């Protein structure tokens, strides 16, 4: 018998609604919340970006998340197979599954660079762990981080890492191995177990460090920075960036949520579940901002430094803060937990597809696809040293300055995810059988009408416009 994802769902889907929520929140909460969101908010002027982001999450992200779960649970298969089944039942062309294909490919590409960045996190756990335990054994556990080094040496750590292809590839390999091992262990014994242990630990650390930052950092300035919108900053590329970030952070259009939806029991009400997951993800992004910016401002650092924000700026901040050495270590452990529960969802989408499509065994599928993403990730890592001059899409003005990692990140986030989301909203809003969709959502009356309006009208139009003007700003 061919091992389909649906057959696995029968044997080993989520064991409860809570397990599903934890796994899906685990998929959503990750580097996107703690690394990408503060970085983009910092680069794009703070409040205005945050505002557009919130609107995108509420009006586009949440309705689309419910759409993904609907397609997955109705289709009982991977991201392509599920769309095909819903298309069959709705008597429309199976070609609509193209968006499922874009999703799986996007998930695979995101995994490749995601693991590289998560590797940096592992490297910083190693560095801060050495520093903290050194202090502990010296009887000075509450010292600042790297307090015997100068500021330049600390901010130079990232440069040292980036200059070394060997170190970058090693930590990338470690992280990818952990991801593959969990996915190979199965939905119930791997993914669900990881989420039920790691997510509670994550929330505990997040609150702890935020409270620490509120007392020791410049909280007021962080709040002003994040919540006072400067509308002159609202350009089409900023809106495209915010929309892409909403997709990325909610794990939309990347194969993960359709696949996770296929493992959900029939009696789970999907609409409130999607709302809970979106809310939790958004809360974590905002709290992460309120955790990071007070610390950044307290020591007079620049919030708009880009991807180096949490790796270069924060360790400098931790140097002068009481207990900074411990907090620094916990901070990177926190990000590692969040990243791992996301990377497993990124690998699960392509893995479920390979199991369904080719009848592969789960471990074989997870290893092959994980290795494939690992190889692409190596190119991203080399883009910081040996291939530092390579600009893969240098001919396209919005990607002109982007190195290999930034190109894959930008291409998936700004283009592939919104495109797949656009096609999905047309499919769910217009093509899929209305009755089938309604039953799956669990919504009725006015709420169903509102949701359908958002999916059928607002999402396609808004996403199409943002895509067009974001990718071709000269048209404006
Ligand atoms: N949502 C994750 C984050 O914010 O880090 C990243 C992600 C996971 C994107 C899973 C897409 C996905 F399918």
User: Does residue 4 surpass a pLDDT of 80?
Assistant: no
CA of 246 to the centre of ligand 1 (A): 10
How is residue 322 annotated by DSSP? T
User: Does residue 153 surpass a pLDDT of 60?
Assistant: yes
Q: How confident is the model at residue 6 (pLDDT cuts 50, 70, 90)?
A: very low
CA of 378 to the centre of ligand 1 (A): 20
For residue 37, give the ligand 1 atom closest to its CA. Answer: 4
Checking ipTM against 0.85, whether it exceeds it is yes
CA of 250 to the centre of ligand 1 (A): 6
For residue 31, give the ligand 1 atom closest to its CA. Answer: 5
Tell me the average pLDDT across 88-93: 98
pLDDT in tens, 22-41: 999 999 999 999 989 998 99
Write the Ramachandran bin of 146: left for phi over 0, alpha for psi from -120 to 50, otherwise beta.
Answer: left
- What CATH architecture does domain 5-388+411-443 belong to? Orthogonal Bundle (1.10)
Helix, strand, coil content of the chain in percent (nearest 5): 80, 0, 20
The angle at the Cα of 345, spanning 334 to 464, to the nearest 5 degrees, equals 105
> Mean pLDDT score of the chain, rounded to an integer?
93
Percent of the chain with pLDDT over 90: 79
Please list every protein residue whose CB sits less than 6 Å from any atom of ligand 1. 27-28, 30-33, 107, 110, 248-249, 251, 254, 256, 342, 345-346
Ligand 1, pocket-test mutation among 242, 254, 289, 336, most atoms within 8 A of CB: 254
pLDDT in tens, 299-357: 888 888 887 788 988 888 899 888 999 999 999 999 999 999 999 999 999 999 999 99
Distances (CA, A) of 98 to 87, 95, 147: 12, 6, 54
Work out the widest C-alpha separation in the chain, in whole angstroms. 71
Q: How confident is the model at residue 378 (pLDDT cuts 50, 70, 90)?
A: very high
CA of 30 to the centre of ligand 1 (A): 6
pLDDT value at residue 295: 86
Q: How confident is the model at residue 12 (pLDDT cuts 50, 70, 90)?
A: low
For residue 349, give the ligand 1 atom closest to its CA. Answer: 13
Tell me the average pLDDT across 249-274: 97
CA of 91 to the centre of ligand 1 (A): 32
Provide the residue ranges of all domains of the chain, joining segments of one domain with +: 5-388+411-443
Please give the full DSSP string across 200-258, using - where no structure is assigned. Answer: HHHHHHHHHHHHHHHHHS-HHHHHHHHHS--GGG--HHHHHHHHHHHHHHHTTTSSHHH
User: Does residue 2 surpass a pLDDT of 70?
Assistant: no
Half-sphere exposure of 129 (CA within 13 A, CB side): 8
pLDDT in tens, 42-78: 888 899 999 999 999 999 999 999 999 999 999 999 9
200 φ/ψ angles, rounded to the nearest 5 degrees:
-60, -40
User: Does residue 11 surpass a pLDDT of 70?
Assistant: no
SS3 for 3-41, per residue?
CCHHHHHHHHCCCCHHHHHHHHHHHHCCHHHHHHHHHHH
pLDDT in tens, 189-202: 999 999 999 999 99
CA of 186 to the centre of ligand 1 (A): 19
Distances (CA, A) of 395 to 149, 385, 419: 42, 21, 21
CA of 158 to the centre of ligand 1 (A): 24
pLDDT in tens, 204-236: 999 999 998 888 889 999 999 999 988 888 888
For residue 339, give the ligand 1 atom closest to its CA. Answer: 5
Ligand 1, pocket-test mutation among 24, 32, 53, most atoms within 8 A of CB: 32
Contact 306, 39 (CB under 8 A): yes
Minimal-distance CA residue to ligand 1 atom 11: 251
């Amino acid at each position: 018998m061919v091992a389909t994802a649906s057959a696995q769902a029968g044997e080993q889907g989520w064991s409860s609604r809570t397990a599903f929520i934890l796994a899906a929140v685990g998929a959503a909460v990750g580097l996107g919340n703690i690394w990408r969101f503060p970085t983009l908010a910092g680069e794009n002027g703070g409040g205005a970006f945050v505002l557009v982001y919130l609107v995108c999450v509420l009006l586009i992200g949440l309705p689309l998340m419910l759409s993904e779960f609907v397609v997955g649970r109705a289709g009982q298969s991977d991201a392509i197979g599920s769309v095909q089944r819903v298309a069959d039942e709705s008597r429309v062309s199976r070609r609509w599954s193209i968006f499922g294909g874009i999703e799986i490919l996007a998930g695979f590409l995101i995994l490749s660079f995601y693991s590289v960045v998560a590797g940096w996190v592992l490297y910083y756990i190693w560095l801060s762990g050495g520093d903290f335990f050194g202090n502990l054994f010296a009887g000075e556990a509450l010292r600042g981080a790297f307090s015997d080094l100068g500021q330049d040496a600390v901010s130079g750590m990232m440069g040292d890492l980036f200059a070394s292809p060997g170190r970058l590839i090693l930590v990338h390999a470690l992280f990818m191995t952990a991801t593959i091992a969990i996915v190979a262990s199965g939905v119930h014994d791997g993914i669900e177990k990881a989420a039920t242990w790691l997510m509670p630990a994550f929330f505990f650390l997040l609150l702890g460090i935020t409270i620490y930052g509120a007392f020791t950092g410049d909280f007021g300035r962080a709040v002003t920075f994040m919540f006072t919108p400067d509308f002159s900053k609202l350009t089409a590329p900023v809106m495209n960036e915010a929309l892409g970030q909403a997709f990325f952070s909610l794990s939309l259009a990347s194969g993960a949520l359709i696949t996770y939806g296929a493992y959900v029991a029939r009696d789970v009400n999907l609409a409130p579940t999607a709302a809970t997951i979106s809310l939790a993800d958004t809360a974590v992004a905002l709290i992460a901002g309120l955790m990071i910016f007070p610390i950044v401002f307290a020591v007079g650092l620049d919030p708009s430094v880009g991807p180096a924000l949490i790796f270069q700026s924060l360790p400098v901040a931790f140097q002068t803060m009481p207990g900074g050495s411990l907090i620094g270590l916990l901070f990177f452990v926190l990000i590692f937990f969040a990243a791992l529960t996301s990377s497993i969802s990124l690998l699960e989408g392509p893995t479920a597809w390979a199991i369904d499509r080719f009848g592969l065994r789960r471990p074989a599928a997870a290893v092959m696809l994980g290795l494939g993403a690992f190889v692409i990730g190596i190119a991203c890592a080399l883009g910081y040293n040996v291939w530092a001059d390579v600009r893969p899409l240098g001919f396209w003005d919005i990607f002109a300055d982007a190195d290999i990692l930034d190109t894959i990140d930008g291409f998936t986030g700004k283009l592939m995810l919104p495109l797949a989301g656009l096609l999905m909203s047309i499919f769910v809003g217009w093509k899929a059988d209305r009755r089938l969709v309604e039953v799956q959502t669990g919504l009725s009356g006015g709420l169903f009408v509102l949701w359908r309006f958002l999916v059928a009208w607002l999402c396609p139009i808004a996403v199409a416009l943002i895509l067009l003007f974001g990718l071709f700003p000269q048209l404006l």
